[in-house]
C-alpha cells in the first residue's frame, strides 16, 4: 500500500476528530463514574481503568485509520 498525501491529510483530520471525541467520551465517563460512586458502585466503577483505556484507544487510533483509508479511496 502506497502512502498518499491525501491519505495523510485524512489521517490528520481523523486524529483531530478522534481527539475531540476522546475529550467528550472521557467527560461522559467521568460523570458516569462519579454518579455511580455516589449510588454505591456499579459497572463503570469496577471497570474504570479498562474503560478509560478503551475510550482513549478507539477514537485516537481508530479515526486516523478511517480518515486515511477514506481519503485514500476518495482521491486515489
pLDDT in tens, 11-45: 999 999 999 999 999 999 999 999 999 988 888 88
Which pTM does this prediction carry? 0.83
Region at 23 (left for phi over 0; alpha for psi -120 to 50; beta for the rest): alpha
**Dihedral in degrees, nearest 10, Cα atoms 46, 52, 54, 60:** 170
In the block, cell 472521557 appears at 26
Domain count, the chain: 1
Q: Which domain holds residue 10?
A: 5-75
Amino acid at each position: 500500500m502506497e502512502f498518499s498525501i491525501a491519505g495523510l491529510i485524512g489521517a490528520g483530520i481523523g486524529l483531530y476528530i478522534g481527539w475531540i471525541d476522546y475529550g467528550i467520551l472521557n467527560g461522559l465517563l467521568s460523570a458516569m463514574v462519579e454518579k455511580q460512586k455516589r449510588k454505591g458502585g456499579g459497572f463503570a466503577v469496577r471497570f474504570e481503568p479498562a474503560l478509560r483505556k478503551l475510550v482513549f484507544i478507539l477514537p485516537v487510533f481508530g479515526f486516523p485509520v478511517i480518515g486515511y483509508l477514506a481519503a485514500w479511496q476518495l482521491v486515489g
